[in-house]
Structure 1
Amino acid sequence: MTFEELKQQRSCILLECISGSKAYNLQVPTSDTDIKGVFILPQSELYGMSYTPQVANESNDEVYFEIRRFLELLEKNNPNILELLSTTAQNELYRHPLMDLVKPADFLSRLCLDTFAGYAKAQIKKAKGLNKKINQSYPKTRKPVIEFCYVISGGQSMPLLEWLYEKGWRPEDCGLSKIDHFRDVYALYHRQQFTTAVAFKGIFSGENANDVQLSSVPRGVDPPGIMHFNKDGYTVYCKDFASYWEWVELRNDARYQHNQLLGADYDSKHMMHTFRLLNMAAEIARYKEVRVYREDRDFLLRIRNGEFSYDTLLEMAAEKLDQMEQLYAASDLPEQPDPALAASLLIRIREEYYVPKKH
């Protein structure tokens, strides 16, 4: 089963809903329409060698879960699946009568504390990642190895480039040899120390080098300098450099510009969803229901509009997480859903769909 085949066999669709911001009542003029749903495999494909757990279009704006996968995730209290099952009637595009057998209240449990909080923490992490990248700035040219090299001078370390400048030496006229038992530490020599010509390779091979390079050094001559290459620091820098420019290339420019206009040094949309998830989790503990349509729209959109500082939001989120733990500790929700329920529902739905009762 592919997404295109499912669209051609709409009789296999059991549930189809508007999802995302429009289902949450958090839409803005630029919001897209996302669709999520549930389908059931044709009987012939179910009996075959393959199984299709879910299908989606190329942009991932429309996602459909096969009924078995849907029930598996529901049993795990997956927030996306609980939201789909609890979508308000006004956002349901189609609902097969068999879906009435699957009731959100039958699956709600203390697992929601971990799943909703886990999703919320993931949103904070994503917002933190943007916070870090907005406050980073890397030129398009990566720093060379030599900027991570230092020499001992006067009992202290100093940047190699400064040391070479003071001596009037060029890096390509220098040679390095390893010092035993000292990691990333090298004896540094210069051609003018030798009365005969020496073929030093230089400190590194070029601007794109990822390490220093060694030269063959004649014996019996003391090095004028001891050099350390901060290889660990260079590795971290290269990783951050690559990550930053990958983010620049792949980032959602509309969202980035939105955050820039707000003057927000974090992804305000991720933080909005953090609080949506935390509030929904608290409502599950209090009222034993998943409230997809957000009555707290004004507060959540204030977050999206950058009205709170990043640090303030982190403090508020930490406070809400503490409150959630207290709510779930006092709740009489079961530890987890009945493990037999999903299995019995799956059997009944397949039986009634594949072999409808005659009236």
Structure 2
Amino acid sequence: MDFKMLLETKEYQFLKTDKHLGDKIILLGLGGSYAYGTNIETSDVDIRGVALNSKSDLIGMSSFEQRVNEATDTTVYAFNKIIELLLNTNPNTIEMLGLKPEQYLFLSPIGQELLDNKKLFLSKRAIYSFGGYANQQLRRLQNAIARDTLTQTERETHILNTINNMMFDIKARYEKFENGSIKLYTDKAIQEEMDTEIFMDINLSHYPLRDYKSIWSEMNNVVRDYSKIGKRNNKKDEFHLNKHCMHLIRLYMMCLDILEKEEINTYREKEHDLLMNIRNGEFMSETGTMKQEFWDLLNEYEKRFEYAKENTSLPANPDYKKVEEFVISVNERAVRGEY
């Protein structure tokens, strides 16, 4: 497929006409299965990108964080927003810096600078972002497979554990506060149809409303996703379960590259066959659960992850000074229109 020609079609004209995009775009690349090399004939084409903040965003009163076009599965992040996400080694955005050269559909000189500086964003935060995300995916997987045997109490515990292992940047905000705290736990249910349920003890003062809104939204999404998974009951769902298992292993592969090699490798060329075998159901039993071979494979990656997080040479945090210098340089050019 000629992806660059695809961008010239009518469906993608918003990339040129949106006032926050157009000539402000510095990077466009493939996302999803095509980015990982695990696409199949029916895979959707996902596009991910970065656009500079405008002068009015930076020193005026307008605001731009990202543009999402659901019809084309396209997301373009504002430069300042992507920097924030990259500093926390956000799995869904750090992968944009690890594509194969031919998977970048557009790359401006400033976009190339971003790629050249990608190592600035690598730190031990990947332990929490990738590890927490993988843990979340694993618990969702376990819940989906065991949907017929889990009690309501066990299910609620799964949800709580997932929330407690959410991505690092969100986790830091709801576990530790300068002016209070939010404590999550299970107890005897108040709702009649439940035995136990999750409760919150909230003690906050002078806390930003928008931050709290973000925290609440993340927790709500977890509860909503578990409700969807619980309704899995056909062959289509087995297809998604295999895909889910594949992405869980892929997460560990990518995280290990970061911790062990200090590299971002989104396209999984060497592990392609293994990942596709998982996706195609070769690790699923006739009963719709995963074979022991899958759990053994997962266990191997978990052990490697535990070792890598204790022995990685990455710094605890990114080099904020160098990142700031880069951001100032880019935003000064954005304000002057030099891009």
Q: TM-score, normalised by structure 2?
A: 0.65
Matches within 5 A, 1:1-359: 7-8=16-17, 9-59=21-71, 61-102=73-114, 103-133=117-147, 235-236=193-194, 247=228, 257-260=235-238, 267-295=241-269, 296-309=271-284, 310=290, 312=292, 313-355=294-336
Q: Distance in 2 between matches of 1:120 and 1:231?
A: 29
Cα shift at 1:336: 1.5
Cα shift at 1:71: 0.6
Secondary structure of the 1:267 match is: helix
Cα shift at 1:5: 6.2
> Which AA in structure 2 matches 1:288?
E
> Which AA in structure 2 matches 1:50?
S
Q: Distance in 2 between matches of 1:129 and 1:316?
A: 19
Residues 225-254 of structure 1, C-alpha deviations (whole Å, 9 max, x = no match)? xxxxx9879522899xx9899638997x9x
Gap runs ≥5 in structure 1: 137-229
Q: Distance in 1 between matches of 2:190 and 2:309?
A: 44
Secondary structure of the 1:236 match is: coil
Answer whether contact 2:16 2:23 (CA < 8 A) is retained: no
Cα shift at 1:277: 0.7
Answer whether contact 2:65 2:77 (CA < 8 A) is retained: yes
Question: Identity across aligned pairs (percent)?
Answer: 28
Cα shift at 1:132: 3.7
Cα shift at 1:273: 0.5
Q: Distance in 2 between matches of 1:32 and 1:354?
A: 36
Answer whether contact 1:98 1:349 (CA < 8 A) is retained: yes
CA gap of 1:278–1:243, structure 2 versus 1, over 3 A, is closer
Q: Distance in 2 between matches of 1:83 and 1:233?
A: 42
Cα shift at 1:316: 3.0
Q: Distance in 2 between matches of 1:231 and 1:72?
A: 38
Q: Distance in 2 between matches of 1:250 and 1:11?
A: 44
Gap runs ≥5 in structure 2: 1-11, 151-187, 198-222, 285-289
Q: Which has the higher helix share?
A: 2
Q: TM-score, normalised by structure 1?
A: 0.62
Residues 27-77 of structure 1, C-alpha deviations (whole Å, 9 max, x = no match)? 011100000000113213433323221110135711111000111111111
Q: Distance in 2 between matches of 1:66 and 1:244?
A: 27
Residues 70-112 of structure 1, C-alpha deviations (whole Å, 9 max, x = no match)? 1111111111221112221111110110123222222211221
Give me the CA root mean square deviation.
Answer: 3.5
Secondary structure of the 2:29 match is: strand
Answer whether contact 2:55 2:335 (CA < 8 A) is retained: yes
Answer whether contact 1:6 1:12 (CA < 8 A) is retained: no
Q: Distance in 2 between matches of 1:345 and 1:68?
A: 11
Q: How many residues align?
A: 255
